[in-house]
Amino acid sequence: MSESYTLYNETVMDHFINPRNMGDIKDADAIGEVGAAACGDIMKISLKIDEHTGTVTDARFKTFGCGSAIAASSMATELIKGRSIEELEKNFSNDNIVEALGGLPPVKIHCSVLAHEALSAALEDYKKKKTNEKELEKEKNSKENELKELEKQKEKCTSGNQIANYGNEIAKLQTQITDLNAVLKECKN
């Protein structure tokens, strides 16, 4: 490459030629993918998030696009590690990416916007998963409480038919709880 090429600064070129955090995260907690092949750039960001602190512990990307798109994705993953979801949602924008890169040509600013949109999509994915997980947990707890009540009622029964009916209902609930536990386990993986 020519030493006199000046469209991109040294930082942008470094993140393009030596991208950080490229690839996928196995068992990612969140994935955001934006862009369209017809337009040119496609970005995918994978996140690992500490569920207790809500902090991004790892971030990786895959980008199909120009040097600015790759550099913006690389820098975005560097900037978001160690930051909380809340902080990223409130205080992180494409301007942070552009600033950290030392600027982008005006016609390439959309690359930083796309990187930010990929992050936003990943954070939305994480929130959806957590909401589904909470709803499943709530449903499981409700079924467990219902099971305890049926077991108490079954103990008070004297009729063989009633005991059999309670036994059938208890077996159904136990199956439902087992199924919910399997889905919850899958959600957490």
| Sequence-ordered list of residues with C-beta below 8 angstroms from that of 67, at least 6 positions apart, any chain | 8, 12, 13, 16
Task: Measure the CA dihedral 59/69/109/7, to 10°.
Answer: 130
Q: Which residue numbers are catalytic?
A: 39, 111
Q: Which SS3 state, helix, strand or coil, does residue 70 take?
A: helix
For the chain, the helix, strand and coil percentages under 3-state DSSP, each to the nearest 5? 60, 15, 25
DSSP letter for each residue of 81-142: TT-BHHHHHHH--HHHHHHHHT---GGGHHHHHHHHHHHHHHHHHHHHHHHHHHHHHHHHHH
H-run or E-run covering 189 = none
